Amino acid sequence: MVQLCVNIDHVATLRQARYRDQPAFAEPDPARAFHEAELGGAHGITVHLREDRRHIADRDVDLLRALVRTRLNLEMAATDEMVAVATRVRPHTAMLVPEARREVTTEGGLDVAADGPRLRDVVAQLKDAGCLVSAFIDADGRQVDAAAAAGFDVCEVHTGPYAHAFADHGGDAAHDAVFAQLEKVFGAGGAIQAAGMRFNAGHALNYANVGPIAALDPCELHIGHAIVSRAIYTGLRAAVREMRAAIDAAAPAGCGHSHHGDGGDD
């Protein structure tokens, strides 16, 4: 089964649009939204605690760690401040991502190859705190090799280029440009599992484009914006349930075994 981790950052984005200085007294509250996502079939909850606290706040992370009954994935920059938060909170998974103040959402993967020694130290600290440690990387063999050398347990492949190609070519999954991006994700997934790490995927996935990625048999897909957007019309529980159905319809029976060997072990 390909598992679904629901990113609820955009619930906090809506709250912060009006109540940036009073997250504990405002709505919608991510500390309530997670429950609806779990009832809809989410296997995990993802939040990104950014350095500027533009959406998720520290109190959200603390509450979610106490309340989430599936598992909590904390996206974070590899900074001393965020490592201190993660080692205190001890999320089930700590995922290191690049972070820029001006970006709307994370754009591009972590350059593990350029920062290997420092990231190796960060990974060791997070593992000592009991976290599974993940790297958000581009579909690049060089980054896969560097992530394995740094000691990461998981690599999440950045599916943004695939999603953009899918949209640019009218949702034609057989178009050469779309297929080429899909092949890159496929190749990265195989390399990740061959290196003994778990293969996850995410970024810009939605109800229309998720099928071909699910068919590659990653362990987890991390999806947020599309689900929260649909939830405006259907409710969060139903939106998660519909995404689960789209993934299940396309995915092979096992996690990471049908296409890439025996590396994935969720």
Q: Say whether 169 is catalytic.
A: no
Question: 155-167: per-residue pLDDT in tens?
Answer: 999 999 999 999 9
Instruction: Name the pLDDT band for 8 (thresholds 50, 70, 90).
Output: very high
Of 47-51, 168-172, 250-254, which gets the smallest average pLDDT? Answer: 250-254
Catalytic residue among 10, 43, 203, 260: 203
Taken in order 261, 163, 143, 135, the sign of the CA dihedral is negative
- Tell me how far the alpha carbon of residue 126 is from its chain's centroid: 17
| Cβ atoms of residues 71 and 92 within 8 Å | yes
Strand partners, 75: 48, 95
234 pLDDT more than 60? yes
Catalytic residue among 10, 36, 55, 75: 75
Instruction: Name the pLDDT band for 265 (thresholds 50, 70, 90).
Output: very low
Q: Which residue in this structure is represented by tokens 């938060």?
A: 85
- pTM of the prediction? 0.91
Q: Domains in the chain, start-ordered, CATH in brackets?
A: 3-250 (3.20.20.70)
- How many whole angstroms separate alpha carbon 223 and alpha carbon 105? 13
Taken in order 213, 214, 217, 218, the sign of the CA dihedral is positive
- How many whole angstroms separate alpha carbon 97 and alpha carbon 91? 15
Q: What are phi and psi of 246, to 5 degrees?
A: -65, -40
Catalytic residue among 48, 55, 222, 260: 48
Q: Say whether 75 is catalytic.
A: yes
| Cβ atoms of residues 42 and 6 within 8 Å | yes
Q: Say whether 203 is catalytic.
A: yes
Element spanning 160, H or E: helix 160-168
